[in-house]
Amino acid sequence: QRPRIVVTRRIAEPAMAILRAAGDVWSPEPDRALPADDLHKAAAGADAVVSTLQDDIDGTFADAAGPGLKVVSTVAVGYDNIDVAALSSRGIVVTNTPGVLTDATADLAFGLLLNVTRRLGEGERLLRSGTPWSFQLDFMLGAGLGGKTLGIVGLGQIGTAMARRARAFGMTVSYTARRRAAPELETELGATYLALPELLTSSDVVSLHCPLTPETRHLIDTGALAAMKPSAYLINTTRGPVVDEAALATALSSGVIAGAGLDVFENEPEVHPGLLGLDNVALAPHLGSATVETRTAMAELAARNAVAVLAGDEPLTPVRGR
Ligand code: GLV
Ligand code: GLV
């Protein structure tokens, strides 16, 4: 009997073709995020599930899917929405898509950094509002990046790619991480390892690249923001709950820090109302990996992971419990 493969959201056609060659593929028509009940019903009897970060994948989900479920393949690098321990204990393999989205996500993070420090969104809003303006030597001055320090929280693949971009813009790099990086990488990036408190007080830009875990939830709270320089910027392209969004809105409106660039939000798709009226925050709707090339590569990798497990082979990029 052909395996039943459930694809929870529309993915790129080349990836669908890989899946169709391996089994009977079901996906919702029209494409939409399935509420938990519908997700559970859809998963019933599945051998493989290709999911996204919008799906809540836990023990209840696994039980609804039934004993045939062998693999959950998420089309994302982050897997905070998946209870890996609950799935592993049922013998279900979990896979994600690291690597293929590294550059796209670091590009977006650096784009947000340029946007907020050079006031690009603010300037565009001014033009579109029809407000009269003219070139002026002291008009809409931003902050330069050369010689400034970028503090990276989480020096994984994306954090490392962000460090390389910062170096190309003449910035100095420091980082904090659970584990210190290899000496060769520190040397290549010219990166100084600091504990988080020192990183917060010494950085001109703090960019978040750690996964969302119980330890990193609200890592950036009122106290962390107060520790940052009043001239500093915060960039978040990882997961919204790493930042206490209400505390950030307060910090941005009261001059505790200079600005922020956000691609992710604590209660997506909601954005804290306190942020929406502020000119010193650049906002993007979770676009970190959103290029045609990257989303296609993510979908293909996810499809290959699912198919590998169905065939009894090792997946390319399994998630290992932390
Ligand atoms: C997107 O946010 C991802 O985790 O891939
Ligand atoms: C995250 O904190 C890491 O160690 O990369």
**Which residue among 51, 289, 291 is best mutated to probe the pocket of ligand 1, counting the most ligand atoms within 8 A of its Cβ?**
289
Q: Both 19 and 165 in a single domain? A: no
Pocket of ligand 2 (CB under 6 A): 154-156, 177-179, 210
State the ligand closest to the CA atom of 104.
Answer: 1
pTM exceeds 0.90 for this model = yes
Q: Separation of 97 CA from ligand 1 center, angstroms?
A: 9
Domain assignment of residue 44, yes or no: yes
Which domain does 82 fall in, by range?
4-98+292-310
Q: What is the pLDDT of residues 96-125, one digit of tens each?
A: 999 999 999 999 999 999 999 999 999 999
Do 264 and 133 belong to one domain?
yes
Check whether 322 has a pLDDT greater than 60: no
Residues 84 and 165 occupy one common structural domain: no
Nearest-angstrom CA–CA distance, 303 and 290: 18
Q: What is the mean pLDDT of the chain?
A: 98
Q: Is the pLDDT of residue 313 over 60?
A: yes
Residues 52 and 148 in one domain: no
List, in sequence order, the alpha helices (H) in 99-192.
Answer: 102-117, 120-128, 157-168, 183-189
Specify the ligand 2 atom closest to the Cα of 156: 5
Catalytic site includes residue 286: yes
Asked whether residue 23 is assigned to any structural domain, the reply reads yes
pLDDT of residue 252: 98
88 and 106 in a single domain? The answer is no
What angle in degrees, to the nearest 10, is found between the helix axes of 102-117 and 157-168? 50
Structural domain count of the chain: 2
239 has catalytic annotation: yes
Ligand at minimal distance from the CA of 288 is 1
Is 301 part of a structural domain of the chain? yes
Pocket test for ligand 1, best of 105, 210, 242, 262 (most atoms within 8 A of CB): 105
Q: Is residue 115 part of a domain?
A: yes
310 membership: H or E segment, kind and range: helix 292-310
Same domain for 272 and 138, yes or no, is yes
Active site residue 90: no
ipTM: 0.68
Residue 148 shares a structural domain with residue 253: yes
Inside any domain, residue 319: no
Decide if 159 is inside a domain. yes
Q: Does one domain contain both 173 and 302?
A: no
**Together in a domain, 139 and 232:** yes
Q: Is 190 left (phi over 0), alpha (psi -120 to 50) or beta?
A: left
Task: Identify the pLDDT of residue 3.
Answer: 98
| Co-location of 268 and 302 in the same domain | no
CATH of the domain at 272: 3.40.50.720
Whether 322 is covered by a domain: the verdict is no
Write out pLDDT tens, residues 244-253. 999 999 999 9
Distance, in Å, from the CA atom of 75 to the CA atom of 265, rounded to the nearest integer, reads: 19
Residue 318 in any domain: the answer is: no
